[in-house]
Amino acid sequence: MEERDARNQELVSANEEIQSANEELQSTNEELETTKEELQSANEELQTVNDELQQRNNILTQTGNDLTNLLTSVNIPLLMLNSQFQIRQFTPPMQRLLSVRPSDIGRSINEIRLQLSIEDLEPILSEVLESLGPREMEVQDKEGRWYLLRVRPYRTSDNKIEGLVVVLLEIDQLRRSQQQLMEARDFAKSVVESVPIPIVVLDNDCSIRTENTAFRELMQMPNTDLAGRSLPDLANLLWGLSIRDKLEGLLQGPPGGSVEFEHEWNYVQRRTLLFKCQALFTDGNRVLLLMIEDISLRREAERLIASEKNELQGEVARAARRLSRTQEELRGLNAHLITAQEEERQRVARELHDDISQRLSLIEIAMQEIDSATLSQPALDHLIAAREQVHVLNDDVRVLSHRLHPAILNDLGLPAALKALVTEFGERYDMPVTFATQEVPDTISREVSIALYRITQEALRNVAKHAGKTHVKVTLDETDNELHLKIMDFGIGFDRDAELPSPGLGMISMQERARLAGGTLDVQSSLGQGTVITVEVPLHGHA
């Protein structure tokens, strides 16, 4: 029983130990559960961090790709260096300028032979690292092209300096343009200085910006720099001229406005100054360009010219009166010559018709009365040929007599004479010719009849010479107490706008005959459209 009690006691102790161990196991299990939960939470946090890292890795990869594409596609020479001036990155255009290659990444820039006009970049790079300020300078490559070298510190996102960024911007065109502008400015300045006309440029407050030597000499200050001085004050002081209102009005007016005025100035001798002022825009500001011209000699010359002009006008008037009298005399002489010509033509025509034509007719009759039976055949042939020639000659004499003075003009009047003239012209030159007349008076003065007949005769002669084979139309009618004669052809014509030689005697004769009859003569023609001659004569002189 004692042993049993001892064992029971041991069992109770063991049970208590087991219960204690069980409690410890439960506590350990709870700790394990807590640790498991902590591990699960840590795992979730690690998974979140992993996702964030993966996302950042993707962003870094995208950024790296963007940077790589940017560096390879940008057309700007760019170079990145670390703090020891070792190459980190560069763009393809930098390869040509600095002779760098992808294998040079990590090398010092001092080991690279630069293709620029500056041999050593280290002092400039060191200065930028020390001062942390940008540095710019202009350089040239081996081909002579200009670039702007710009060095800036390489700053991280947390504002740390971890190197340098070197950029080369091509400014060759800009530099050459600047050089051209400088040369143009210097050239313009030299031209303005060499111009003998006083020139001055004014700012918007009417102060002098620049002037040339001629202006300084006009102001009697050849060795004085007038920049910044007020021109209205100087003009008032030297010339007694108030121009401030004009200049300020021009400055306040629209761009491109101008004003011009004269001023007489008595200094030793009388002088006249011409002021020409124009508003311009330069450098975004409005300025005035003022030119002062001494026109004293011009005004004196104008006064002399005006005096000479008045004298010349008087002389011209006198000469015109003398010329008018001479023209009247010439017209009278011309009328007398035309009258004498017509009388001589009439006399010659009468002699041809009454004397020579009659003699030729007698010779022709005598030759017809020769007995052909007594002649040999050769003599008979000669006689027949001579008789035909005499007959043709007699016809030519009659035609010539008719042309010199058509008797039909006196016997039947102008319309009949023109119709006969037109018909004879068509038969002679084998041209289609028409003549039309309407409401023409029965009696027309001899002078008008002869003038219109001779004009028609001369016009038809010109058609035969110059128009070629064509249709000719002659009309004669009366309108508003005026006779209208029109000679039209549809030949080759001529260009009146082209430069033509002086008119021939035929045209002059037609114009003068129309004038003597108190009328006018007009000629219209164009290439390929023929020619129209129109004569208008008043009927106040018809019988």
Instruction: Specify the CATH number for the domain of residue 288.
Output: 3.30.450.20
* Bridge-based pairing state of the strands 161-170 and 146-155: antiparallel
Question: What pTM value is reported for the model?
Answer: 0.36
pLDDT digits (tens, 9 = 90+) for 118-149: 777 788 888 888 888 888 888 887 778 888 88
Q: How far, CA to CA in Å, does 246 sit from each of 18, 124, 398?
A: 122, 56, 89
Q: Is 304 part of a structural domain of the chain?
A: no
Phi, psi of 234 (to 5 degrees): -65, -40
pLDDT of 55 > 50? The answer is: yes
Annotate 203-260 with DSSP letters as a single string: -TTSBEEEE-HHHHHHTT-TT---TT-BHHHHHHHHH----HHHHHHHHHS-TT-EEE
Picking from 294, 326, 343, the residue at the C-terminal end of a domain is: 294
Comparing CA positions, the residue from 76, 75, 80, 166 lying closest to residue 121 is 166
Gyration radius from the chain CA atoms: 59
Picking from 361, 380, 405, the residue at the C-terminal end of a domain is: 405
Give yes or no: residues 348 and 372 share one domain. Answer: yes
- Sign for the pseudo-dihedral over CA of 12, 17, 23, 26: negative
Residue with tokens 């008076």: 441
Phi, psi of 225 (to 5 degrees): -85, 115
pLDDT of 86 > 50? The answer is: yes
Q: How confident is the model at residue 416 (pLDDT cuts 50, 70, 90)?
A: confident
Q: Is 185 part of a structural domain of the chain?
A: no
Q: What pLDDT is attached to residue 244? A: 80
Instruction: Provide the 3-class DSSP secondary structure of residue 537.
Output: strand
Contact by Cβ (8 Å): 537, 483: yes
Give yes or no: residues 219 and 166 share one domain. Answer: no
Q: What pLDDT is attached to residue 268? A: 47
Across the beta sheet with 285-294, what order do the strands follow? 208-211, 199-202, 285-294, 269-282, 258-267
Give yes or no: residues 3 and 112 share one domain. Answer: no
Share of the chain above pLDDT 70, in %: 80
Comparing CA positions, the residue from 61, 97, 62 lying closest to residue 78 is 97
Instruction: Give me the chain's average pLDDT, please.
Output: 77
Q: Is 184 part of a structural domain of the chain?
A: no
Instruction: Provide the 3-class DSSP secondary structure of residue 534.
Output: strand
Give the mean pLDDT of 169-190. Answer: 80
Give the mean pLDDT of 89-95. Answer: 78
Give yes or no: residues 91 and 106 share one domain. Answer: yes
Q: How many CB atoms lie within 10 A of CB 472?
A: 24
Comparing CA positions, the residue from 408, 404, 399 lying closest to residue 427 is 399
pLDDT digits (tens, 9 = 90+) for 57-83: 888 888 877 777 776 666 778 788 888
Return the minimum-mean-pLDDT range out of 235-244, 246-255, 363-372.
363-372
Q: How many CB atoms lie within 10 A of CB 298?
A: 13
Give yes or no: residues 337 and 397 share one domain. Answer: yes
pLDDT of 543 > 50? The answer is: no
CA distance 333 to 174: 83
Q: Is 543 part of a structural domain of the chain?
A: no
Instruction: Provide the 3-class DSSP secondary structure of residue 70.
Output: helix
Q: What pLDDT is attached to residue 354? A: 62
Range of the domain at 260: 195-294
Give yes or no: residues 118 and 215 share one domain. Answer: no
Q: What angle do CA 96, 100, 105 make, to 5 degrees?
A: 150
For residues 160 and 262, which has the higher predicted lDDT (pLDDT)?
Answer: 160
Give yes or no: residues 260 and 148 share one domain. Answer: no
Give yes or no: residues 278 and 368 share one domain. Answer: no
Q: Is 421 part of a structural domain of the chain?
A: yes
Comparing CA positions, the residue from 118, 125, 122 lying closest to residue 142 is 118
Q: Is 137 part of a structural domain of the chain?
A: yes
Phi, psi of 120 (to 5 degrees): -125, 115
Residue with tokens 């010092």: 108
Q: How many CB atoms lie within 10 A of CB 402?
A: 19
Give yes or no: residues 148 and 249 share one domain. Answer: no
Comparing CA positions, the residue from 521, 417, 415 lying closest to residue 459 is 521
The number of distinct structural domains making up the chain is 5
Q: 234 CB contacts (<8 Å, ≥6 apart)?
A: 219, 226
Q: How confident is the model at residue 542 (pLDDT cuts 50, 70, 90)?
A: very low
For 415, the token pair is 């319309």
- At position 295, the amino acid (one-letter code) is I
Q: What pLDDT is attached to residue 43? A: 92
Residue with tokens 């004479």: 417
For residues 382 and 505, which has the higher predicted lDDT (pLDDT)?
Answer: 382
Instruction: Provide the 3-class DSSP secondary structure of residue 493.
Output: coil
No. of helices (H) and no. of strands (E), the chain = 14, 15
Give yes or no: residues 156 and 269 share one domain. Answer: no
Q: How confident is the model at residue 500 (pLDDT cuts 50, 70, 90)?
A: very low
CA distance 288 to 243: 13
pLDDT of 347 > 80? The answer is: no
Give the mean pLDDT of 227-239. Answer: 80
Give yes or no: residues 58 and 90 share one domain. Answer: no
Q: Is 187 part of a structural domain of the chain?
A: no
Contact by Cβ (8 Å): 485, 458: no
Return the minimum-mean-pLDDT range out of 254-268, 317-331, 414-428, 460-474.
254-268
Contact by Cβ (8 Å): 469, 431: yes
Q: Is 512 part of a structural domain of the chain?
A: yes
Q: What angle do CA 389, 392, 396 make, to 5 degrees?
A: 135
Return the minimum-mean-pLDDT range out of 4-18, 189-203, 419-433.
189-203
Q: What angle do CA 432, 438, 440 make, to 5 degrees?
A: 120
Q: 459 CB contacts (<8 Å, ≥6 apart)?
A: 487, 510, 533
pLDDT digits (tens, 9 = 90+) for 181-206: 888 777 777 777 777 778 788 877 88
Give yes or no: residues 79 and 34 share one domain. Answer: no
For 204, the token pair is 């918007």
pLDDT of 371 > 70? The answer is: no
- At position 281, the amino acid (one-letter code) is F
Residue with tokens 């500001």: 285
Contact by Cβ (8 Å): 142, 96: no
CA distance 496 to 487: 17
Across the beta sheet with 161-170, what order do the strands follow? 87-90, 78-81, 161-170, 146-155, 135-140
pLDDT of 492 > 50? The answer is: yes
CA 536 and chain centroid, separation: 47
CA distance 12 to 34: 32
pLDDT digits (tens, 9 = 90+) for 433-486: 888 887 777 777 777 877 788 788 888 888 888 777 788 888 888 887 888 888
pLDDT of 250 > 80? The answer is: no
Picking from 365, 386, 405, the residue at the C-terminal end of a domain is: 405
Comparing CA positions, the residue from 450, 538, 460 lying closest to residue 506 is 460
